[in-house]
Structure 1
Amino acid sequence: MGYTHYWYRPKKIPKKTFSAIVEDFKKVAEAIESMGIKLRGGDGTGEPEISNDAVVFNGDALCGHPKRDLIIPWPTEEAGGVVLSKAKDPREGVWFAGHLIKARTCDGDCSYETFWFPRVDEDGMVIGKIAYYDASGRPVYNDSRKVGKVFGFCKTAYRPYDIAVTAFLIIAKHHLGDKIIISSDGEIQHWYDAMHICQDVLGYGEDFEPDWYCGKE
């Protein structure tokens, strides 16, 4: 349980296409870091990998931001931006599992789950035609758009690096089109920050919309 983004992608992405994704993300990552959001390696330390083989990063586990109680955070309907100072409290009530927050923030550790997106995904779960069998033994089928694609996800808990995760997915969607399916626990307004950054830096992004939303209900 926790705020997550999901995708269904080809097992192998052509080198030229992946290189274009990587080059665009490098530009956006630089802009994101200029906002004070540090990207680190997969475990929250060291340098991120942004190469023609894979993009792997996390937030900064040693960020030094103020410690605060933050239990399974979920963005409010109007949430956006980043709050890292002690002077402002981004918490705004609760939902049944934890805190509602009105901006991306952390509890003194800006890392959460690793974002991992390789050019060739040999280890991911490939979606088959049948999702499961019902109580009568009849097959229930997966959405045909997902069949044959590899499933991936990243639970960001709406940490500051969530902006980088959503920006990368916007870039991937731009270059892969219908070959990648993106869904999210968030609503479209929770993607606005990344959409605007991509638009400012790359000239595209403001027309992005996930293929569907999952929500917290």
Structure 2
Amino acid sequence: MGYTHYWRRPRQLKLETFRRFVHDVGVLLHHLPLRTNGAGGFYSQRLLVVCGAWGNGAPTLSEQEVAFNGDAAEELDHETFAVERVYCPAPWETLDLNGHFFSFCKTARKPYDLAVTGSLLLLQQHFGSAVRISSDGTAQEWEPARELLSKVFGPDLAYTAWEQVWPQRSN
């Protein structure tokens, strides 16, 4: 498999809330550090560059979708992180027992993982119980994302989102 983050979400997310989510992801991407020790620090000496869905160009931040990847030119891309406002499932996809669809993004611990985990914390913050997030990573590996959100948006937002994703963490 590989180092992957997962989320479950309803088919449709509210437009106004999605607009706020997109705005905040844009702010987050603007404040990313040059390098990160996130996801275990495997690529801590490499630059953190966030590109479009295919690893080049600019990230997509629209009323209908957030999509980005790492830098393909530096072989730091992996799977595209994408959250659509209205999810279009493949014919074989079905809802889980809670009425959610399953999504995931395998980052292979590459630098853009910080943008993915930060965005997932923002998704959790904006949509609350409508989404459920899990990960192959540990709370310690997500700590750089919590710290970044705390710096950019304030400790209250970072703490609330963090507690929803990692309620079992020790103080």
| TM-score interval, normalised by the smaller of the two chains | 0.7 to 0.9
Aligned residue among 84, 88, 112 for 1:122: 88
- In the alignment, structure 1 residue 205 sits paired with structure 2 residue 158: yes
The secondary structure found in structure 1 opposite 2:117 is helix
Aligned residue among 44, 50, 65 for 2:61: 50
Partner of 1:21: 21
Partner of 1:110: 76
Structure 1 runs of 4+ aligned residues shifted over 3 Å read: 33-36
CA contact (8 A) 2:70 2:76 kept: yes
- In the alignment, structure 1 residue 182 sits paired with structure 2 residue 148: no
Aligned residue among 130, 155, 161 for 2:112: 161
Q: Tell me which structure has the larger Cα radius of gyration.
A: 1
Deviations 1:56-89 (A, max 9, x none): 10000113xxxxxxxxxxxxxxxxxxxxxxxxxx
CA contact (8 A) 1:184 1:212 kept: no
CA contact (8 A) 1:33 1:39 kept: no
Displacement of 1:121: 0.3
CA contact (8 A) 2:139 2:166 kept: no
The secondary structure found in structure 1 opposite 2:88 is coil
Displacement of 1:2: 0.3
Q: Distance in 1 between matches of 2:3 and 2:84?
A: 22
Partner of 1:104: none
Q: Distance in 1 between matches of 2:94 and 2:12?
A: 12
Q: Distance in 1 between matches of 2:11 and 2:80?
A: 19
- Alpha carbon RMSD of aligned pairs, Å? 1.8
Partner of 1:38: 49
Question: What is the percentage of aligned positions where both structures have the same residue?
Answer: 37
CA contact (8 A) 1:28 1:201 kept: yes
CA contact (8 A) 1:18 1:119 kept: yes
Gaps of 5+ in 1: 64-108, 130-146
Q: Distance in 2 between matches of 1:212 and 1:55?
A: 26
The secondary structure found in structure 2 opposite 1:40 is coil
CA contact (8 A) 1:183 1:212 kept: no
TM-score by length of 2: 0.82
User: Partner amino acid for 1:2?
Assistant: G
TM-score by length of 1: 0.65
Deviations 1:143-168 (A, max 9, x none): xxxx2111100000100000000000
CA contact (8 A) 1:13 1:119 kept: yes
The secondary structure found in structure 2 opposite 1:41 is coil
Displacement of 1:43: 1.1
Displacement of 1:16: 0.4
Displacement of 1:212: 8.3
Q: Distance in 1 between matches of 2:111 and 2:94?
A: 30
The secondary structure found in structure 1 opposite 2:127 is helix
The secondary structure found in structure 2 opposite 1:6 is strand
Partner of 1:101: none
